[in-house]
Structure 1
């Protein structure tokens, strides 16, 4: 019988999605023993719905529970860093929603702590999982796609005053960024996951849709280490919500489904250049087994990684790569220069990408 890990979820907003999509379908692998949230009125019906007995308002109580194996952090972004560090130091395994932390300096501290901690850390990038994204990845990894040429990512979503009525949203101190940080970060991760590491980025950010501190429109031009080129565009002012990745390789062109919040689930449009490539793809995918999307597969693979049966499905290094893009975006938009990656500790935005006027004294 497989080991069952005991979980405490901290923050029941997106935390409820972790329950519904991640832990309930993997009930043979996890048991949620506790919920932790400052809002008892919001937490109580969710705890009742899923028969979670422990309803906690103090994070330190969760850290002290000897029977909790995993702390799943689903709080506003500004709280991630201290909670992740405290959980690792307490010897817990940690799952943390994006963004993992609020600077490259912080993510490097987390990586250093992880190396000496008993527990393992898995950042959340649930869009990586599902038939569409994994078939594309399999074709690329098999060498069938060939050399990457160009790719685009379009994140056309809609957020208005009702969304930003939640007090922590739209503010640098608590959300740590806007569409670039909270919304498009998933799709930009998918781009590098499939196309390769970014070498240089020239970007622009703007606030055009909402009366908020952070950005709600972005665009960028990218050069990859392998020579491919890319472009990112995102807005929170779209009339129709779509997410689209369009990736052109030497032998294959991939186009994602337009589903805004689950672009990896349905099979992508795969266009081979010639019959020979088509035959190789058909042979590779002939016995394909369905991969559930989002949290269901990410949590299942985390369980396998904890047992030592598989690699970690998402790593702290993956989060650092994503946060490098964020850092480069903000710096380029301010300086009107392109930014070289990777970003080291001597970079002016290494300690924080938050504009100086919004940083804590």
Structure 2
């Protein structure tokens, strides 16, 4: 969407791997935004990043970055433990924070962010970029309009592979730093997309285990879910799967809609199958003129700017991201307590509102000595 306003002023905190995806996205949006500053505790890494992406100002302290000049948006690309504190810092500086998933490590932290948001009037947005691919937007539109009929069955699978060496990075595989295993850090993108299509969930029954990896957290979880609209779904999150794939399937009354990809999808990754007697829906699915762009950061960042340009609230809002985080917390609570967990059940001082492990992990910790 073209805009006549001056480019938005953007900064990035944290210049590790995922920050490169943010900076590349901003490069594609250079007519609408300027990356004016970066901050990182590693000055060499920050300088190299700034040189690569022609960023004029480099800081070692996030507070100094936030005080350096007017900013419209700050991307938080640091390890998960720091997401909520940095988002609060940004809001108190009057800057919207776009935070990599997970927004926070617990529901309690999410609620504390909501309090700061209420106090400051600034916003926290969460990176769930797979919501913004053209086919996913189309699917939500058709589902909301009811032309696909009632949603009946869904499967959501994040089947990835991470070796033991992957967990050599000290912050990986720790409840207190990363927040969880594949349920929090990997599969969350796929089940967030599922939730964006199917709407509110009502109850979860789950299992989780640490089967092979040297980690405090689970390396696989499996959940069965009922939604408010009656749909039933299965969700699998794994780091033990040599043939990697990310797969979603929605069976509606009148059509099946599927996507299989790995870290991002295009139109070619989707398949639409109408039910007998509803063949006309195939033409409706194919009737889209949106650019066929990979479902990456660029589309979500662009959607933020579009919303601002038109005076609307951008996604993914804090309440919306909390619903996805609650899904993860309920998965853990069900798995470790051995009970069904209903939406809204985890509240107050319930241990699973305070941390994703809820103090109930049924295996020995292996990374306590790491810092």
TM-score band w.r.t. shorter chain? over 0.9
The DSSP-based 3-state class of the residue aligned with 1:162 is helix
CA contact (8 A) 2:105 2:178 kept: no
User: Aligned residue for 1:148?
Assistant: 151
User: Alpha-carbon deviation of 1:39?
Assistant: 1.8
Q: Partners in 1 of 2:166 and 2:34 — Cα distance? A: 31
Measure, in 1, the Cα distance between the counterparts of 2:110 and 2:315. Answer: 18
The whole-number CA distance in structure 2 between the counterparts of 1:165 and 1:102 is: 21
Q: How does 1:39-58 map to 2 (within 5 A)?
A: 39-58=42-61
Query: Could you give the per-residue CA deviations for residues 263-300 of structure 1, whole angstroms, max 9, x where no partner exists?
Result: 4654511111135x332452464352225322111011
Give the SS at the match of 2:224: strand
Deviations 1:320-345 (A, max 9, x none): 01111111111111110000002453
- Asked if structure 1 preserves the Cα contact closer than 8 Å seen for 2:11 and 2:71, the reply is yes
Secondary structure of 2:355's counterpart equals: coil
Residue by residue, what CA displacement relative to the aligned partner does 1:38-83 show, whole Å, maximum 9, x if unpaired? 1223222221111112121111111212222221111100011111
Q: Are 2:142 and 1:106 equivalent residues in the alignment? A: no
Asked if the contact 1:139–1:281 (Cα under 8 Å) also holds between the matched residues in 2, the reply is no
Q: Could you tell me whether the CA contact under 8 Å between 1:47 and 1:53 is conserved in 2?
A: yes
Q: Structure 1: which 5+ runs fail to align?
A: none
Q: TM-score, normalised by structure 2?
A: 0.90
Other-structure match for 1:15:
19
Note the 1:174-213 alignment, pairs <5 A.
174-213=177-216
Residues 125 and 314 in structure 1, CA contact (< 8 A), matched pair in contact too: yes
Deviates more, 1:129-138 or 1:198-207: 129-138
Q: Give secondary structure in 2 for the equivalent of 1:175.
A: coil
Q: Is the 8 A contact 2:130 2:189 kept in 1?
A: yes
How many angstroms apart in 1 are the aligned matches of 2:268 and 2:120?
A: 38
Residue of structure 1 aligned with 2:297, choices 295, 298, 302: 295
Contact kept, 8 Å, 1:10 with 1:72, in 2: the verdict is yes
Distance change in 2, residues 1:325/1:287 (3 Å): closer
Q: Which residue of 1 aligns with 2:72?
A: 69
Partner residue in 2 for 1:3: 6
Residue 333, structure 1, aligned to residue 335, structure 2? yes
Q: Is the 8 A contact 1:134 1:264 kept in 2?
A: no
Q: Which residue of 1 aligns with 2:319?
A: 317
Secondary structure in 2 matching 1:146: coil
Q: Which moved more, 1:42-51 or 1:241-250?
A: 42-51
How many angstroms does 1:3 deviate by?
A: 3.0
- For 1:184 and 1:62, the matched residues in 2 are separated by 32
Unaligned runs of 5+ residues in structure 2 are none
- SS in structure 1 opposite 2:91? helix
* Separation in structure 2 between the aligned mates of residue 345 and residue 208 of structure 1, nearest angstrom: 30
Which SS does the other structure have where 1:16 is aligned? helix
Shift of the alpha carbon at 1:355?
Answer: 4.2
State whether residues 127 and 264 of structure 1, in contact with CA within 8 Å, keep that contact through their aligned partners in structure 2: no
Structure 2 residue aligned with 1:159: 162
TM-score, with structure 1 as normaliser:
0.93
Distance in 2 (alpha carbons) for counterparts of 1:266 and 1:125: 21
* Dislocated runs of 4+, deviation >4 Å: none
Alignment length (residue pairs): 356
